[in-house]
């Protein structure tokens, strides 16, 4: 059986570092930084670490319904999602993830775009 990305890079500890780097950069982002005003960042980092872990083969799991529910009120745009994805890609690279593994991780996140980005009426 082949190793998951989660296992390959050291599990929860490494994913936690990646998520912390992502949020450090996200908080400084002119485009998405405001989303994190008045947010319990340690709690968010813990949840996001579990979420990202689940996307790359780790033990946690989140239903699409739960993911949609926690993002619904944020009115996240496609542009905001793109910024988040770009910063996350940089964090993955910063922590030594191989390009192919970055692609796989970003593809898993991209699969969640439809439940994270606000739906605009047609």
Position 116 scores a pLDDT of 94
Angle, to 10 degrees, between the axis of helix 78-94 and the axis of helix 12-28? 130
Residues in the chain with pLDDT < 50? none
| Euclidean distance between CA atoms 42 and 48, whole angstroms | 10
Instruction: Give the domain extent around 46.
Output: 5-116
CA distance 119 to 78: 10
Rounded to an integer, what is the distance from CA 15 to the centroid of its chain?
10
pLDDT at 63: 87
102 within a domain of the structure (yes/no): yes
Q: Is residue 52 part of a domain?
A: yes
Residue 28: inside a domain, yes or no?
A: yes
75: left (phi over 0), alpha (psi -120 to 50) or beta: left
Determine the pLDDT at residue 7. Answer: 95
121 within some domain: no
Q: Supply the pLDDT for residue 1.
A: 63
- For residue 122, what pLDDT is reported? 53
In a domain, 71, yes or no: yes
**CATH classification at residue 101:** 1.10.490.10
Task: Tell me the two tokens of residue 55.
Answer: 């996307």
In a domain, 48, yes or no: yes
Predicted confidence (pLDDT) per residue in 102-118, tens digit? 999 999 999 999 999 98
For residue 26, being part of any structural domain is answered with yes
Considering its fold, how many domains does the chain have in total? 1
pLDDT of residue 120: 64
In a domain, 122, yes or no: no
Q: What is the DSSP letter of 117?
A: S
Supply the DSSP string of 88-114, one letter for each residue.
HHHHHHHTT--HHHHHHHHHHHHTTHH
Report how far residue 57's alpha carbon sits from residue 63's, in angstroms, rounded to the nearest whole number.
15
pTM, 2 dp? 0.90
């Amino acid at each position: 059986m082949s190793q998951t990305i989660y296992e390959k890079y050291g599990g929860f500890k490494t994913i936690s570092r990646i998520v912390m780097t992502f949020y450090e950069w996200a908080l400084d982002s002119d485009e998405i930084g405001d989303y994190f005003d008045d947010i319990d960042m340690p709690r968010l980092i813990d949840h996001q670490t579990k979420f990202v872990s689940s996307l790359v083969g780790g033990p946690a799991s989140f239903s699409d319904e739960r993911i949609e529910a926690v993002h619904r009120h944020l009115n996240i745009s496609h542009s905001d999602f793109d910024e988040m994805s770009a910063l996350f890609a940089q964090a993955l690279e910063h922590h030594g993830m191989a390009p192919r593994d970055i692609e796989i991780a970003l593809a898993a996140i991209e699969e969640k775009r439809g439940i994270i980005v606000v739906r605009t009426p047609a």
